[in-house]
A = this chain, B = another copy of it.
């Protein structure tokens, strides 16, 4: 994966679309002072660089009743269980991120669930029943202040 050079116009396009993926290209064009077609051409090139992965509509999990965010450090009986455990975690929709990290944990995950009861059920029934999982450590997020992408 090669890195890339962006000029001011590219950055402006990206910043606009990162904030709102449906920003009309013409309004970006007006802002930076070039034609809409030029924005379109640059965007196509940027898409080819793989810098742009896609665009997602962002949901508010709270409206669906998912009010609890937690991080769970999972201790594995042996590191060799990593792959099979991940496979099982894929099937748990509440698991929204998984990482193989340095440190004590075999797997480190982020989960979203409806409430503490739901969290307990998830930990006891879904996660700790996965073959290879020895024990877990849970950090419940009581407040999230920062949530953003990398600055360009």
Q: In the complex the two chains form, is B63's CB within 8 Å of A101's CB?
A: no
In the complex with contacts A101-B140, A141-B99, A150-B96, A108-B71 CB distance below 8 A = yes
The verdict on A95 contacting chain B, using a C-beta distance below 8 Å, is yes
Selected interface stretch from A13-21, A33-41, A126-134:
A13-21
The answer to the question of A136 belonging to the interface, with a C-beta cut-off of 8 Å to chain B, is no
- Smallest CB gap from A144: residue in B: B99
Residues of chain B within 8 A of A30, CB atoms compared: none
Shortest A126–chain B CB gap in Å is 14
- Is there contact, CB below 8 Å, between B20 and A56? yes
Q: Does A75 contact B (CB under 8 A)?
A: no
Are B139 and A96 in touch, CB under 8 angstroms?
no
Complex contact B141–A64 (CB within 8 A):
no
Q: Is A9 an interface residue (CB 8 A)?
A: no
Contact with B along A44-87 (1 / 0, CB 8 A): 00000111111111111111111001010000000000000010
